[in-house]
Amino acid sequence: MQSFLAIFVSSYIIGFSGAMMPGTLLAVTISESSRRGPSAGPLLVLGHAMLELTLVTALILGLAPLFSRRIFFLTVSLAGGAVLLWMAYGMFRSLPGLTLAAAPAREPGNHPVFSGILMSVVNPYWIIWWATIGLGYIVNAKRFGLAGVAVFFTGHILADLTWYSAVSFGIGKGRRFFNDTVYRILIGVCACALVFFASYFLYRAACVLPFFNVN
């Protein structure tokens, strides 16, 4: 029991510190919460967790070498950068007409669960983290069987859920203090964040490209 508790606590702490780092998922959480309210965070984490469960399963089945190959990193970086730029463009284009009066839960756009999946899969460093640090935790937890892996995964996801739910609740409940100008600034900042991450992913891909080989 103490071993399972240690796995859970350590995975929660490590997961929480990772969740609090600024990234694409945080930017979209802020954007979605300002439109949809406090439910956006848990829904985004649900999509994120669905993808992470798939990835953990793949790692357990022995696919870690694939995720660490240079061609895989290059492909995800290029595709991720392109998707983030496309999303940022859509956000910038919508800024002039954004209004809180038309922005509750039924505003058109990607469903938060899908956005949670998309924001994870387009981030190459999320995959690299799981293929390195995450895999190390899985190997350690697997000494206690699949139950150990399940405890590790639960702690990790609960860290994400705790943080993004808190962010979503704070933004969603704070909508009553927003006006249209603040709302547009918030969405504009989130769009700029996506451009930053897209540029970084594309830059890293450009650094890898001159040394590209199938390994």
Residue-wise over 164-200: b if at least 16 C-beta within 10 A, else e? bbebbbebbeebeebeeeebbebbeebbebbbebbeb
Q: pTM to 2 decimals?
A: 0.76
Supply 62's token pair.
């022995």
Which residues make Cβ contacts (< 8 Å) with residue 175, sequence separation at least 6? 34, 37, 100
pLDDT by residue (tens digit) across 74-122?
887 888 888 889 888 888 888 887 676 544 444 445 788 999 999 888 8
Give 131's DSSP letter.
Answer: I
Tell me the pLDDT of the chain (215 aa) as tens digits: 568 898 898 889 888 767 776 678 888 888 888 888 899 999 999 999 999 999 899 888 887 777 767 787 788 788 888 888 988 888 888 888 767 654 444 444 578 899 999 988 888 778 877 877 788 788 888 888 889 999 999 999 999 999 999 889 888 887 666 677 877 887 788 789 888 888 888 887 888 666 555 44
Supply 29's token pair.
């959480």
